[in-house]
Structure 1
């Protein structure tokens, strides 16, 4: 049986905003990585539009990071917040990350060497990273991470439809999950900023 804390630890509203700011910063940073990898194989007339859309989403995500840290600074230090879910984190969190890294490395090595399909490495990465959000959601008691994971898995499905169903070139295995995962992370971060704004008005 899984143990949970009997009494949740109190945390202030300022701590909530800081925690949200740190999570948003991580999401924004990983979004930059996914976008950089995806846009590198986009050429032709679509490239300016892809870069413009990426810049807008990044700006919204980065603005959320700044907003959350500013809200934390402006919030009284003793204002009570919502208690965190009990039992989150710990060794299980590290186990999920270690398994993710091992599976990512092994799969991408096979694609790059044995199968000679390096263009599929971003799809494999999106598959593994998306899947890791499901145990992570349970470990951190954060159900919203399941939505992030499902959205990342959907980008791989879109890449498969583009290549296998619509006849797109093999680079779609790279740019669809690359740009798609960036949009998921940046869009999710921007939405969290909107929710934080509604919370402050309530």
Structure 2
């Protein structure tokens, strides 16, 4: 399918893909009634979803989250996908940005997301992190391994963290200009199952 935009991964404008496909299709020895179908892939859905994770522990540049590779962040582990991140807390952080790595909650050695994920240097236990651009496979690859995987869904009117279509004021440059529009996205709130999840939820 067609790509989307991520930190350090900025594809060409969609019109360039369309032009190349049309040129190739017009040169193919096929009937005039032949239809060309293209699978939209990440370009259609990546911008639609984020996950809001809680920082349960910090050790140096390692942040331990209540979501991970068995949850919404499969691609962050197995493909080392550089998802955009944003600190969510009351008040602003004025510290510099620094790279972090993430660990999930399952106590499995593979539940590690090397990143780097750039966040304020003063991030601490109890803070929340929005991890964006998870509309492609974020939900589809999530499991209930080791009792995790439950989440709350919230539909919000908000701009995506990055956009191929000029929908997001952001730090990730694309070939399109930024527009003053907003898009609808889904935010997943990760929490453990059972009583532990209920206790955590009640403190929010």
For normalisation by structure 1, the TM-score amounts to: 0.24
More strand by share: 2
For normalisation by structure 2, the TM-score amounts to: 0.24
Q: 1 or 2 for the larger relative contact order (CA 8 Å, sep ≥6)?
A: 1
More helix by share: 1
